[in-house]
């Protein structure tokens, strides 16, 4: 089979104006970036607000394994499959970050014959949204340091600066730095830090903002520092949010592209789900709901991370609810959770499959707590045997979940017709969607609920630093906010080595931060990195230009 980039390079794309016309976007409402990608104007988003919503389908997954589960690929394949059975759908996805593209994971435009194109553009600079978010965040940081240098009228304590600079790249050397060295003219020396752009609060705010003015107000609420006498200083206090909004005025507009089968894709925003809320923008999802009968969107990593945050944060803020949740799994992931090493996953192993099925069962149980119909999608690999598939099918049915095999990687939409029909049918079933916790519950109680109900923990422990921070945030009004848990994606617990369905453990919250503009409190567990590093052999080593000027090695 051809590589992803070879398949994408052979795609017969339609001009983006044709894709827009097919879904009801007027030519004057489209802002093209070349022939095959465009932004949807604010006029279009506003015009569509009173249109009827389609059905919302959330795609999530089991805990990721080294074998790969293909959640984005399944999301794209499902949308193509919907078209094959005569349904009008749009898939709404996050934009890729350059960190994973050049790191280990690779791009985020799907794979095989279920990809979003132009794949190369999307995985690299796309329409410049990531750069705009990076610039806006770093402008805020520059204005803060300049305020301190120019007399520090607000009395900001440089030891209690809350915001960090960002870069859309994996660069461990920038995690902890000292800035403003070199003498008086270069500012007041202090410790500083970099995070990856997708972990920044500016990214979260862009993805949760309803419009440009909501964006400006939210940016103004960012907690940037404390004064010497312990008072909070917000972004509006240093007069940065207006200029930041100007930098983001185009970035807030959703991006329109297409799949390999010329079905529409709205791609916008890109927060990670292990350190942020892990969903594409509210504007993208709401716009897709107005333009199609079905909006298919994904949330990062497993149901314990992206899905929980999608359901308890994004749905709460946006006033939306899913009609169906698709849970992506693989036979390989279940065998891996059953103790089989990556090198042995292609061999049939019914004992390991049964043992590892507890992880899939935990995710099904978690999603049922939200009162929404669940369809398990087994992403098919060539080595899967009929006996293994039959076991998974029976297991899902015993847990009250619908089941379908998808061969979208190798067959595109044709390989997802069964899944598409199962999902369409599930959208018509009884739906009793409810949040996991009451927003008015005390902050510590909300954390306890997530830990016990979603992770399966016995309880939560807090370091002194974390408890001090949380108590301070509560005094600032954060008690009524939802919580955003930063946790390893590899396990339901905070220990990445604890596979399957761990029990008899407690979650430890090591630190906390307040995303006041985004509207949630972030609690860090374990050793989650907000600025990843490159591996010993990163994907960047394989990416190059050939003798004809074509990109090779991108996946």
pTM for this model (two decimals): 0.95
- Angstrom distance (rounded) from CA 216 to CA 47: 21
pLDDT score, position 524: 95
Residue 79 · residue 89 · CB < 8 Å: yes
Ramachandran angles phi, psi of 492, nearest 5°: -70, -25
Which residues have a Cβ under 8 Å from the Cβ of 37 and sit 6 or more positions away?
A: 16, 118, 121, 122, 126, 127, 255, 256, 257
The residues with which 93 forms a beta bridge, in sequence order, are 267
pLDDT in tens, 177-236: 999 999 999 999 999 999 999 999 999 999 999 999 999 999 999 999 999 999 999 999
pLDDT in tens, 42-71: 999 999 999 999 999 999 999 999 888 999
Helices marked H in 162-265: 201-208, 212-220, 241-247
R_g over Cα of the chain: 23
Contacts 24+ apart (CB under 8 A), 144-153: 144/224, 144/225, 144/238, 144/240, 145/179, 145/180, 145/187, 145/188, 146/187, 147/238, 148/187, 148/188, 149/180, 149/187, 149/188
The CA-atom distances, in angstroms, between 489 and each of 1, 283, 302 are 30, 26, 7
pLDDT score, position 269: 95
DSSP string for 79-122? HHHHHHTT--EEEEEPPP-HHHHHSSS--SSEETTEEEESHHHH
Taking residue 502's Cβ as centre, other Cβ atoms within 10 Å add up to 19
The separation between CA 96 and the C-alpha centre of its own chain, rounded to angstroms, equals 10
Residue 527 · residue 486 · CB < 8 Å: no
pLDDT score, position 555: 84
- Angstrom distance (rounded) from CA 314 to CA 325: 15
User: Which residues in the chain land under pLDDT 70?
Assistant: none
Burial grade of 32 (CB within 10 A; 0-12, 13-18, 19 or more): middle
- Angstrom distance (rounded) from CA 362 to CA 399: 10
- Angstrom distance (rounded) from CA 3 to CA 117: 14
List of E strands, 274-384: 294-298, 324-329, 374-379
Collapsing DSSP to helix, strand or coil, 265 comes out as: strand
- Angstrom distance (rounded) from CA 282 to CA 266: 11
pLDDT score, position 180: 96
Residue 356 · residue 335 · CB < 8 Å: yes
Collapsing DSSP to helix, strand or coil, 270 comes out as: coil
The separation between CA 265 and the C-alpha centre of its own chain, rounded to angstroms, equals 16
pLDDT in tens, 101-111: 999 878 889 99
Residue 317 gets which letter from DSSP?
H
Residue 222 · residue 163 · CB < 8 Å: yes
């Amino acid at each position: 089979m051809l590589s992803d980039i070879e398949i994408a390079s052979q795609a017969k794309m339609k001009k983006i104006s044709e894709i827009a016309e097919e879904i009801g976007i007027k030519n004057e409402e489209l802002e093209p970036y070349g022939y095959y990608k465009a932004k949807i104007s604010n006029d279009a988003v506003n015009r569509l607000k009173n249109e009827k919503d389609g059905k919302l389908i959330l795609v999530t997954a089991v805990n990721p394994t080294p074998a790969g589960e293909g959640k984005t690929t399944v999301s794209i394949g499902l949308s193509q499959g919907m078209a094959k059975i005569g349904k009008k759908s749009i898939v709404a996805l996050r934009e890729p970050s350059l960190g994973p593209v050049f790191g280990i994971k690779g791009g985020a435009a799907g794979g095989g014959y279920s990809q979003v194109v132009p794949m190369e553009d999307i995985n690299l600079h796309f329409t410049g949204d990531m750069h705009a978010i990076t610039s806006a965040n770093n402008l805020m940081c520059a204005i803060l340091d300049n305020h301190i240098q120019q007399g520090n009228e607000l009395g900001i304590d440089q030891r209690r600066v809350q915001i960090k600079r960002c870069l859309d790249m994996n660069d461990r050397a920038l995690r902890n730095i000292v800035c403003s060295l070199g003498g008086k003219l270069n500012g007041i020396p202090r410790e500083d830090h970099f995070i990856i752009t997708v972990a920044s609060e500016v990214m979260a705010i862009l993805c949760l903002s309803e419009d440009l003015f909501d964006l400006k107000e939210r940016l103004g609420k960012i907690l940037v520092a404390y004064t010497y006498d312990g008072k909070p200083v917000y972004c509006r206090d240093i007069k940065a949010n207006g200029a930041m909004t100007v930098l983001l005025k185009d970035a807030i507009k959703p991006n329109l592209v297409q799949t390999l089968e010329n079905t529409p894709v709205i791609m916008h925003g890109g927060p990670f789900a292990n350190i942020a809320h892990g969903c594409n923008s509210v504007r993208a999802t709401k716009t897709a709901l107005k333009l199609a009968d079905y909006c298919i969107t994904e949330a990062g990593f497993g149901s314990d991370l992206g899905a929980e945050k999608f359901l308890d944060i994004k749905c709460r803020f946006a006033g939306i609810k899913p009609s169906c949740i698709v849970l992506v799994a693989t036979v390989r992931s279940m065998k891996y959770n059953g103790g089989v090493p990556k090198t042995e996953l292609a061999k049939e192993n019914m004992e390991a499959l049964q043992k590892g099925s507890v992880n899939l069962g935990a995710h099904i149980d978690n999603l049922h707590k939200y009162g929404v119909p669940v369809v398990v999608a087994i992403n098919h690999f060539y080595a899967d045997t009929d006996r293994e598939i039959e076991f998974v099918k029976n297991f899902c049915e015993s847990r009250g979940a619908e089941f379908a095999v998808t061969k979208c990687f190798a067959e595109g939409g044709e390989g997802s017709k069964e899944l598409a029909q199962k999902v369409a049918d599930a959208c018509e079933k009884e739906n009793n969607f409810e949040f996991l916790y009451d927003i008015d519950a005390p902050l510590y109680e909300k954390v306890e609920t997530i830990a016990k109900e979603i992770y399966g923990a016995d309880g939560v422990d807090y370091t002194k630093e974390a408890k001090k921070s949380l108590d301070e945030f509560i005094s600032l009004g954060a008690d009524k906010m939802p919580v955003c848990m930063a946790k390893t994606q590899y396990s339901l617990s905070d220990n990445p080595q604890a596979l399957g369905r761990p029990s008899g453990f407690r979650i430890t919250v090591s630190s906390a931060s307040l995303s006041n503009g985004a509207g949630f409190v972030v609690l860090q567990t374990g050793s989650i990195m907000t600025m990843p590093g490159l591996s010993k052999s990163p994907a960047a080593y394989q990416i190059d230009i050939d003798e004809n000027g074509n990109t090779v090695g991108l996946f």
